[in-house]
Amino acid sequence: MLARFTIYVFYAIVFFMLGAWAGDLSPHFHAFVQRGGAYLESGMTDLRAMAQNSIATPQNKSATASATSLTETLVAAREASAHGNVDQAIDLYGELLKQNPDSADAWGELGNVDLNAGRLDNAAHAFLSAGQARLRQDNVAGARALVPIIQRYDPALAGILAGQIAAKASPTKSE
């Protein structure tokens, strides 16, 4: 009985939101969502500035500037991807990966952009690079999680990563 009531309430909320989205409330609802996004973005900017100022000392100002540049590039790449600017997002992820080639997260996000754009071969290669970066960070489980994803688009690349995982996971016999 409680489960059935919960389902009714869930569907009532869903249909209300759909009606609000498509009905007369739509402009107000969109404005509400946009204001929330603007507040979130300004809050993130303030938080980022506070964090950078709290760790900025004379000896690590160049490292802070470099980290700021990487963060800004990552944010710009994510925004471009979210707005459907695939080519711009790919260029920004490429720029980010030139500065930080061992960023497994950036490789994975680039793979997601390629996948959403239908560039399956590029996506498989990006996911392979993400898995290899995770292996270099001794994150075998993280690399292993990428094998089935790569397998869907390029079984040969999945085999390469699986072999590298097996080599990393097996103990050395030189003792």
76, 92 in Cβ contact below 8 A?
A: yes
Question: pLDDT-derived band of residue 61, with 50, 70 and 90 as boundaries?
Answer: very low
Is residue 59 predicted with pLDDT exceeding 90?
no
pLDDT value, residue 132: 94
Percent composition of the chain: helix, strand, coil (DSSP 3-state, to 5)? 85, 0, 15
pLDDT value, residue 6: 86
pLDDT tens per residue across span 65-93: 555 677 788 888 888 888 888 899 999 98
pLDDT value, residue 137: 92
122, 151 in Cβ contact below 8 A?
A: no
pLDDT value, residue 175: 43
Is residue 55 predicted with pLDDT exceeding 80?
no
Paired tokens of 73: 């590039």
133, 103 in Cβ contact below 8 A?
A: yes
Question: How many alpha carbons lie under 13 Å from residue 28 in its C-beta half-sphere?
Answer: 6
Paired tokens of 58: 């004379």
pLDDT tens per residue across span 112-170: 999 888 999 999 999 999 999 999 999 999 999 999 999 999 999 999 999 999 998 87
Burial of 23 (C-beta count, 10 Å sphere; 0-12/13-18/19+): exposed
Which has more confidence, 40 or 6? 6
154, 119 in Cβ contact below 8 A?
A: no
Is residue 35 predicted with pLDDT exceeding 90?
no
pLDDT value, residue 2: 76
Paired tokens of 34: 């946009």
* All structural domains of the chain with their residue ranges: 1-41
Q: What does the pLDDT average to over 46-63?
A: 53
67, 51 in Cβ contact below 8 A?
A: no
What distance in Å separates the CA atoms of residue 59 and residue 154, rounded to the nearest whole number?
Answer: 46
96, 107 in Cβ contact below 8 A?
A: no
Is residue 49 predicted with pLDDT exceeding 90?
no
Whether the model clears a pTM of 0.85, i.e. scores above it, the answer is no
